[in-house]
């Protein structure tokens, strides 16, 4: 299995709702991708400009298919417009 922790630091508070909307849609659509074990978004309780997306995939081919999916290719650039994305990847 593969776990991804994706951190978004929103650059401007005016972009927060745009980032939240994109993250929520990404979660809703990605949960239906083959090989998706879990996919969740979290907002920080202490910093309004931080969102984390935590996702778990059965295997690398499932993750690669997800990254090629139309919803991923449409929504991730919106998140990148809102701030800086960083990624942690774990295999277990």
Q: What is the pTM of this model?
A: 0.95
61 token code pair: 């081919």
Rounded to the nearest 5 degrees, what angle is found at the Cα of 44, between the Cα atoms of 41 and 45?
130
pLDDT (tens digit per residue) in 64-86: 999 999 999 999 999 999 999 99
pLDDT digits (tens, 9 = 90+) for 37-58: 999 999 999 999 999 999 999 9
């Amino acid at each position: 299995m593969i776990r991804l922790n994706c951190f978004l630091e929103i650059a401007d508070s005016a972009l927060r709702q745009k980032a939240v909307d994109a993250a929520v849609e990404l979660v809703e659509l990605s949960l239906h991708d083959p090989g998706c074990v879990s996919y969740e978004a979290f907002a920080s309780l202490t910093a309004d400009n931080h969102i984390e997306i935590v996702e778990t995939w059965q295997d690398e081919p499932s993750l690669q298919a997800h990254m090629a999916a139309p919803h991923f290719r449409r929504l991730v650039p919106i998140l990148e417009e809102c701030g800086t994305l960083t990624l942690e990847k774990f295999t277990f």
